[in-house]
Amino acid sequence: MKTTLPVIVAFLSGLIMVVGFFLNPEKSFLGNVEEEVLRWGTIVGGFTLLLGVVSLVRVNSRTVSQKKQGWIFNLITLISVFAMAIPSMIPLSSKSAIGSVLYSIIPASWGGLFGTGPDSIYDWMFNYLESPMMATMFAMLAFYIASAAYRAFRARNTEATLLLLTAVLVMLWRIPMGEAFLRLFGDNVPQYINSFVMNGVNMAVQRGIIIGAALGAASMSLRIMLGIERTYMGKG
């Protein structure tokens, strides 16, 4: 039963989604069921976020309480989670039960600091702490890419040489200075790169990858629906 029931649920859920795809939800029962399942999906999705937060708090608090190596970073993670979450969950006004208690203690004018709206604590921390930090992390990639290009991008064989030449052409094409340089060899050179590299070779390869991945996803879905693939139940 432990194995059979999840397989039946997976089969029926998959079947509803596949058949529902071809049906109008307003005119057919199965299409309507599909819509309902999708609504459940958004609700379940909300709970998965909560599960993620609970898991993050559990894992990090364990490391902090045991004072394992680098525990200070786990502590910073925990402080950050609550610093972002708590102000955003505090009621904005005294309309709710919690709000009436809270605003009998603090001035009502502080309401604007809470929630996730403009000028709230959450919004300030997001715009002035989180956004710059994430952008900085991503921007660091430019340094590593430059270093890797210098040390690893070698014309070792014919394939690598072709890749290297194409990369150089596309990099030139994607910048105004490079475009101006390419136009020295003919006004249509940038257009040729767009037509023959991006809409030619690149597109052919990308289509192969997209079709291959779609076929893989379809076969994996079929394996799950038929109960052949059971790793999601913790079985091999």
Residue 95 in contact with another protein, rule: CB under 8 A: no
Residue 178 in contact with another protein, rule: CB under 8 A: yes
Contact pattern from residue 137 through residue 156 relative to another protein, giving x for each residue in contact according to CB under 8 A and a dash for the rest: xxx--xx-xxxxxxxxxxx-
Residue 51 in contact with another protein, rule: CB under 8 A: no
Residue 45 in contact with another protein, rule: CB under 8 A: yes
With DSSP H G I counted as helix, E B as strand and the rest as coil, what are the percentages for the chain, rounded to 5?
80, 0, 20
- Rounded to whole angstroms, the Cα distance separating 233 from 236 reads 9
Angle between helix 176-183 and helix 158-173 axes, rounded to 10 deg: 110
Query: Residue 181: how many CA atoms within 13 Å on its side-chain side?
Result: 11
Shortest spacing between CB 141 and another protein, in angstroms: 10
Residue 216 in contact with another protein, rule: CB under 8 A: no
- Rounded to whole angstroms, the Cα distance separating 200 from 230 reads 40
Residue 80 in contact with another protein, rule: CB under 8 A: no
- 121 CB neighbour count, 10 Å cutoff: 19
- Rounded to whole angstroms, the Cα distance separating 152 from 49 reads 40
Coil, helix or strand for 91? coil
Binding residue for another protein, selected from 158, 177, 232, 234, defined by CB under 8 A: 177
Binding site for another protein (CB under 8 A): 21, 25-26, 35, 38-39, 41-42, 44-46, 48-49, 115-118, 122-123, 126-127, 130-131, 134-135, 137-139, 142-143, 145-155, 164, 167-168, 171-172, 174-180, 190, 194, 198-199, 202-203, 206-207, 209-210
